[in-house]
Structure 1
């Protein structure tokens, strides 16, 4: 058991009025803090909110010796092994031993599963046998992953497996209205509601733009910078990003590229983009966090997000909060954030020429980019974390009351 940033009790003076005050919540996550991503950042913020509301929370997840960040709440390790070919991630093996004994002793009022893995399945089975309600949060479109590894034929199989998992839960929450519709259309569950995401405006704000930092990277003040933000893995659409940058170079549209993030496909991505003094040259700044991340994001001129795997698109919201336009795939997540033609452009997935058209419009018309960026910042102002996390608290209370 790892006691981290908070204990499993709360100190908020007003917690007694919360619908989750005194509630015991068991959260199961395949990756709570050992590799940083948007999903586990949201889960940690949720746990912090629940603790402040007077709930007791225990998190069951694989752990590593040197996690990416300190966990919020009480973290209970589950047995796991590295995933072959993606050793930075862990595969949860079983709900057994000390973890199961801890769960039994904790005796939660509700179980929250955040990943459809082996331990997630076992947690659902454990809860159903004891008459405990189960809420599942959907963070990633796992059914889309096979297409990035030459196995698109497996998508219906993966979708069927996900359907079996989610139909065993009492309710689902998803981070965007578009993802809620997808889950309902796929028949994943009849009870699907919205748990969107927030943005920290102390980090992500237009004022964080730093021209001196840009110059230190060799980026001229008058250069228009296309940014990529996220894990450097193929399922983020790196191949589409690289092909679109080539299309811009072929058209003679001047630009530079700023890549923020780290991951196993970095070598491939570096080889696929020009470096040095070439037109369209890319600068890789690696993983950034906190104030450094806010500075890096605000110092680009637009975001290009070709991914279709996100259920929300945290990076899209963060860039919008910095007053920058977004060119994104018309897919779950971005469709609920970007107003096409007002705060950015939504383009059919994998349409390289259409992506190039959208980016070229901003690259050749900075005034248009500024106008659409301002509209995006106004939209981002609507996303406050406590209000957003209260939706999950209400879902817990509803399910526990229903029994």
Structure 2
């Protein structure tokens, strides 16, 4: 396979902490390792940031703006003129747009004006988030914007088959599934830390419930807190640990002052937090994938989640985790109680979860991503598939 010049446009990238940033970094580094030249275009995160320039990677830092409510995250500003000048000097073989914000839209416009092939990712359910911030009336306009954005691309990559089906039902075209992977060396049971558990006030035999992710309304964390309160009536030494930060932190602390709020964790510290839990609760119903699910499974944890996104694809109920039907909070609470009451069962579920995660290494995932980029660069993108249903269906309802 000939090496490509890939312009990779994203509005989030490490050290920002979220699933899109983590996945994007894996793809960028994976393409470089396979001999492709990557031009990484992203917003400048700190005033002192310096663009990285090394063989195989040219980083271009562009103006950005803090996202309201998420001071630690930035979105790009419109930059069509800058991108036109940059790509006229050196044309990429393909432009890949990972996010649909102002910078992503500028990249799409510039690429089309220059006749460059474009692929994109659908990574975040912005339309679903609108329900959790009191602007549910914007859901349809947001969906219309996303549909228009992605249908102008040669190919849109999605992480799961159910999401592909839901988007197709709403009029999205040229969709292809490329899953996300997990670093099973970084995340694993061997990172369990008795010292860390002691900091949480948990002895070896005490049950620790864990959650990892953004502390925000769309993550459904109040349901995890309800599970904790109910279970604590039976297990007085039960602990709940929430890893992450976000706009709902103060409200969650008020709702559950006995929980441990561990803040943002990265690297080995994050792996140690996962491995030191006993049961992982993932109450979100707005994910496109849910990296935390596979990181928890790789860490050898039984996961209680909704039948949705990565959990719905990877968990076989009762074998390697537990799934509640969408929108059934009572079922979620019941499953959490069942798992909390049986340590031997949790151990079996966790071992099976680890085995499932071992098949999700990044090498094969990057290979699939690379193949789609080559396809788009050669003009061999998937044909348009017209929706069989009206284009205003709710993207968050499961495919039938």
Normalized against structure 1, the TM-score is what? 0.87
* Long gaps (5+) in structure 1: 1-18, 276-281
CA distance in 2 between counterparts of 1:305 and 1:364 reads 18
400 and 95 in structure 1: CA distance in 2 versus 1, 3 angstrom threshold: same
Shift of 1:194: 1.9
Secondary structure in 2 matching 1:333: helix
Shift of 1:118: 1.9
* Long gaps (5+) in structure 2: 381-400
Q: Mean Cα displacement is larger for which, 343-352 or 128-137?
A: 343-352
* Matched residue, 1:340: 317
Q: Are the equivalent residues in 1 in contact too, given 2:45–2:64 (CA < 8 A)?
A: no
396 and 129 in structure 1: CA distance in 2 versus 1, 3 angstrom threshold: same
Q: Are the equivalent residues in 1 in contact too, given 2:282–2:305 (CA < 8 A)?
A: yes
Which of 103, 117, 120 is 1:119 aligned to?
A: 103
Q: Mean Cα displacement is larger for which, 295-304 or 68-77?
A: 68-77
Shift of 1:256: 1.6
Which of 28, 33, 38 is 2:9 aligned to?
A: 28
384 and 361 in structure 1: CA distance in 2 versus 1, 3 angstrom threshold: same
Q: Are the equivalent residues in 1 in contact too, given 2:80–2:109 (CA < 8 A)?
A: no
Q: Are the equivalent residues in 1 in contact too, given 2:128–2:286 (CA < 8 A)?
A: yes
Q: What are the Cα deviations for residues 325-353 of structure 1, in whole angstroms up to 9, with x where unaligned? A: 10112222221121122111111344332
Which of 329, 336, 351 is 2:328 aligned to?
A: 351
Secondary structure in 2 matching 1:402: coil
Q: Are the equivalent residues in 1 in contact too, given 2:301–2:353 (CA < 8 A)?
A: yes
Q: Mean Cα displacement is larger for which, 67-76 or 220-229?
A: 67-76
Shift of 1:114: 0.9
Alignment of 1:128-147 (within 5 A): 128-147=112-131
Shift of 1:117: 1.4
Q: Are the equivalent residues in 2 in contact too, given 1:226–1:301 (CA < 8 A)?
A: yes
Q: Are the equivalent residues in 2 in contact too, given 1:33–1:67 (CA < 8 A)?
A: no
Which of 58, 80, 84 is 2:39 aligned to?
A: 58
* Matched residue, 1:108: 92
Which of 233, 248, 252 is 2:234 aligned to?
A: 252
Alignment of 1:160 with 2:138, yes or no, is no
Alignment of 1:215 with 2:198, yes or no, is yes
CA distance in 2 between counterparts of 1:66 and 1:247 reads 46
Secondary structure in 2 matching 1:263: coil
Q: Mean Cα displacement is larger for which, 284-293 or 63-72?
A: 63-72
Higher relative contact order (CA 8 A, sep 6+): 2
Secondary structure in 1 matching 2:309: coil
* Matched residue, 2:30: 49
Q: What are the Cα deviations for residues 7-61 of structure 1, in whole angstroms up to 9, with x where unaligned? A: xxxxxxxxxxxx3x43111111111235221111111111111112221111111
Alignment of 1:2-401 (within 5 A): 19=1, 21-33=2-14, 35-65=16-46, 73-96=57-80, 98-189=82-173, 191-249=174-232, 252=234, 254=236, 255-275=238-258, 282-401=259-378
Q: What are the Cα deviations for residues 218-245 of structure 1, in whole angstroms up to 9, with x where unaligned? A: 1122111110111212221123222333
202 and 214 in structure 1: CA distance in 2 versus 1, 3 angstrom threshold: same
CA distance in 1 between counterparts of 2:308 and 2:189 reads 26
Count of aligned residue pairs for this structure pair? 376
Shift of 1:135: 0.7
100 and 402 in structure 1: CA distance in 2 versus 1, 3 angstrom threshold: closer
39 and 363 in structure 1: CA distance in 2 versus 1, 3 angstrom threshold: same
321 and 67 in structure 1: CA distance in 2 versus 1, 3 angstrom threshold: farther
Q: What are the Cα deviations for residues 190-226 of structure 1, in whole angstroms up to 9, with x where unaligned? A: x222221222122211111122321132112211111
Q: Are the equivalent residues in 2 in contact too, given 1:57–1:74 (CA < 8 A)?
A: yes
